[in-house]
Structure 1
Amino acid sequence: MKKTIIFQYQAQYSVSHEPTFEEKEIWLLLHGYGQLAEFFIRKFQGFDSSDRLFIAPEATNYGYLTGFSGRVGANWMTKHERETAIQNNHNYLDLLMEDLLSQYKNIPKINLLGFSQGAATATRWASRWTGEVDQLVLWAGGFAQDMALEDAREKFSQTKLSLVLGDQDEFVTPESIEIQQDLIKNLGKDVKKLTFRGGHEIDSEMLSIILDSSD
């Protein structure tokens, strides 16, 4: 007989600088499968400023990337106990943002970027978060197929949505593109589609364009 227990859990996250709580915009960054937050955030460090804070939560599921030793990566979920992992992700991100935003006198603009597996996690969380996301960027990934569309339509009604793909991304298939096109159609909202020359990666030139457009 399987049972569950709820307990306190310690999770890690990385920030681009020590928050002053006077920043005008926050970028919440959700990394991809097998990555770690402290390395993922380095892709964004060059765009850090006194008005812009990047914060990268680290997923709480860990595993060796190859075999039984060596490099370790984190992931947001696997097929095992998937629904529990999704709910844990929601609780984790809710608490992180609640703690962070409670220290601001003036709430900054909230931007959310999900990379690869982090894109689906971002859409699931943001579509039911009580706060407002000003901009949602799905990079090398897309909307979760199990995202509650009714909730998403309402939550994203005022959110700027973008899909970013590399033209040589080995994980992008015609099938995955078709699935995303159907989801976007059912969402009933314009989604900006951006393409750069490259693979399954964060491209600094494209990132610069996106960040400039958020100012």
Structure 2
Amino acid sequence: MAEHHLLVARRARYHQLGQLSARTRRVWLVCHGYGQLAQYFIRHFAFLAEADPDTVVVAPEGLSRFYLDGTSGRVGASWMTRDDRLHEIEDHVNFLNQLTGQLLAACPPEVEITVLGFSQGTATVSRWLAQATFRPAHLILWAGGFPPDLPAVAAHALLHGLRLSVVAGTADEYIDAEKLQAQLEQLRQLGGSPIVATFAGRHELNRELLARLAAK
């Protein structure tokens, strides 16, 4: 038996807060974690767009959706699994590149872009930005790691000189202090200069810390 692949067109979903225009000064691109949906994830960032009409928040959604419990009820999305992962990664990179090309075409050239990945989304945004056609002003890796399989040359080109924040809750059930330190060391070895930000919380976002990161 031989496995084959066929490239097809399909619809990708994203949600947006605010309107892009010549006045837009800041764009936040935020990628959710495993089992989440963009329409709910983006609500955590609504206060940024509400406080500043020149800020737009965009939340792409993973291309794979599934029922979170059994065969009905709540639905979540995933960026990838271990099955056919290289093609899933390629599909998401193409989706995010096409999306940002469309978004940036509607913004002034000097627009400031912040990219945030949460949990599973941290690996997604890292792999994507290593192949993206633009460079963000700020990369935030929140409650997740940098992909260890990203080629060192590509990782160094992305991380060197980049404003990079690594965020974790002090009670995160997936990232303890040892894992956090290992992640920081990995990023430094790849040429990054990560700034660590923690908060009293678990595997979740934190509005107060988000506001501080946005204000810097």
TM-score (norm 2): 0.93
Distance 1:111 1:71, change over 3 A: same
- Does the CA contact (< 8 Å) of 2:130 and 2:154 recur in 1? yes
What is the letter of the counterpart of residue 18 of structure 2?
H
Report how far residue 89 of structure 1 moved: 0.6
Per the alignment, residue 112 of structure 1 pairs with 115
Per the alignment, residue 41 of structure 1 pairs with 42
Distance 1:96 1:145, change over 3 A: same
Report how far residue 175 of structure 1 moved: 5.6
- Does the CA contact (< 8 Å) of 1:127 and 1:148 recur in 2? no
User: 1:20 aligned to 2:36?
Assistant: no
Per the alignment, residue 186 of structure 1 pairs with 189
Per the alignment, residue 124 of structure 1 pairs with 127
Of all paired residues, the percent bearing the same amino acid is 36
Per the alignment, residue 162 of structure 1 pairs with 165
- Does the CA contact (< 8 Å) of 2:160 and 2:193 recur in 1? no
Whole-angstrom CA distance in 2 between matches of 1:73 and 1:87: 21
Per the alignment, residue 144 of structure 1 pairs with 147
Per the alignment, residue 9 of structure 2 pairs with 8
Unaligned runs of 5+ in 1: none
Per the alignment, residue 201 of structure 1 pairs with 204
Per the alignment, residue 31 of structure 2 pairs with 30
Report how far residue 178 of structure 1 moved: 4.8
Alignment root-mean-square deviation, CA:
1.4
User: 1:70 aligned to 2:70?
Assistant: no
Which of the residues 60, 65, 72 maps onto 2:63? Answer: 60
Whole-angstrom CA distance in 2 between matches of 1:99 and 1:64: 30
Report how far residue 37 of structure 1 moved: 0.3
- Does the CA contact (< 8 Å) of 2:18 and 2:55 recur in 1? no
The runs of at least 4 aligned residues of structure 1 exceeding 6 Å deviation read none
Distance 1:3 1:184, change over 3 A: same
Whole-angstrom CA distance in 1 between matches of 2:134 and 2:151: 17
SS at match of 1:104: coil
SS at match of 2:133: coil
Whole-angstrom CA distance in 2 between matches of 1:183 and 1:201: 23
List per-residue Cα deviations over 1:155-209 (Å, max 9, x = no partner): 2323200100000111114563354134123212210001100011110010110
Unaligned runs of 5+ in 2: none
SS at match of 1:62: strand
Q: Which moved more, 1:170-179 or 1:49-58?
A: 170-179
- Does the CA contact (< 8 Å) of 1:128 and 1:152 recur in 2? no
SS at match of 1:73: strand
Q: Which moved more, 1:148-157 or 1:31-40?
A: 148-157
What is the letter of the counterpart of residue 24 of structure 2?
E
Q: Which moved more, 1:54-63 or 1:154-163?
A: 154-163
SS at match of 1:44: helix
